[in-house]
Amino acid sequence: MACTPANMAAPMLGMPSEICIASLPSFFGGAKDVGCLAACARDLTAGLKDSSGRLRVCSIITSKLSSAVEGLDRASLPELEVFRLDLSGSTGQLARQEIERGIRQLSANLSKASALEVLAVRLASFDASMERIRLDVNAWEALIRCLGNLSVYGRLRSLDLSSFNIKTSRATQDVSMSESQGGGDLKEEALVPVATGRDSRKLRRAVTCPTEGTGAAAAAAAAAHLAPKLTFLDALARLSSLEVLVLTYDEIFGDTAKMLPPVFEKMDNLKRVDLTRNNIPKQDMKELRASMPCKAELCGDDLQTFYFY
């Protein structure tokens, strides 16, 4: 006799709810199926959320910037293990400001993903104005802070940052791990009284350029000055758990490539580096290969876009 859906589901009805909550999601191919089931089972709905009401998911994989931002806003970040965002198919469709804002939001949330093992972000090649996408200072600093925070957790195994503009000036730029120092944008202005004879007038000074004061103001200024600073290369070197590093289409030139060997030496678990489609001359790539850890594979030395050797 053919099994009806009711007969097939009967054995599962007698299972304890905690077993169903832990096992059922793995039997479904997409979030829609799990969502439909959760809508029909109160216990399952509760089990899919953490104490703060955020959805317990182990991976977010998407090609839409909006869904990536919303997904991280709704997900339980301490339980997230895989995050992949591929915007390469959105070339010419997104405004640069939209991408920069998205990177800042993603970086702020991913900084709290203490279990994250895979991080992959592939930007679009061109924005809606068909100009090469180059992140502004704020977005770049947010990304470096994110990598610095992830290095503390020691869980990241794979990092893919493709179509980022990683020139020497960006790779060596000092970034304060204190967000109050990240900048470029003028934040809320502070009013500073200045005496001018009989009365006083007030000068406006940006918070990004504070003056030392007394009490709490002085303590805050001192803390900001003492905040540790990282460069992009420093942040990479701290990812000692990293096994795979992908930096493709990143406009990396020979002078930046020469700075990579000391970084790789600090990555004890590094197995593979992909530098495909950068601007690294053959001789510099040859030297980089010679300096690689013996157990690490270097990919892309024959797939560079700089041919004036």
- pLDDT, tens only, 57-67: 899 999 999 99
pLDDT tens for residues 218-248? 555 555 556 689 999 999 999 999 999 999 9
Q: Is 71 in contact with 60 (CB distance < 8 Å)?
A: yes
What's the N-to-C CA distance of the chain in angstroms? 73
d(CA 145, CA 105): 12
The answer, yes or no, to whether residue 190 has pLDDT greater than 70, is no
Fold of 52-177+230-309: 3.80.10
Q: Say which residue the tokens 């198919």 belong to.
A: 89
Q: Nearest-CA neighbor of 121 among 97, 152, 100, 148?
A: 100
Helices 137-153 and 96-110: angle between axes, nearest 10 degrees: 20
CA–CA dist 118, 223 (Å, integer): 32
pTM comes to 0.74
Confidence of residue 13 (pLDDT cuts 50, 70, 90): low
Helix (H) or strand (E) holding 111: none
Distance in angstroms (rounded) separating the CA atoms of residues 96 and 128 = 7
Residues 108, 109, 114, 120, CA torsion sign: negative
Bridge-based pairing of strands 199-206 and 189-196 is antiparallel
Residue 92: band (very low, low, confident or very high) from pLDDT cuts 50, 70, 90: confident
pLDDT for the residue 207: 47
Question: Tokens at residue 107, please?
Answer: 């970086």
Q: Is 162 helix (H, G, I), strand (E, B) or coil?
A: strand
Label residue 212 exposed, middle or buried (CB < 10 Å: 0-12, 13-18, 19+): exposed
Residues in the chain: 309
| pLDDT tens-digit series, residues 129-153 | 999 999 999 999 999 999 999 999 9
Where in the chain do CATH 3.80.10.10 domains reside? 52-177+230-309
Query: Can you tell me the distance from the alpha carbon of 81 to that of 99, in angstroms, rounded to the nearest whole number?
Result: 23
Placement of tokens 């591929």 in the chain: 86
Distance of CA 59 to CAs 23, 69, 80, 222, 286, Å? 16, 13, 6, 39, 37
Distance CA 93, CA 250 (A): 20
Section 253-267 average pLDDT: 95
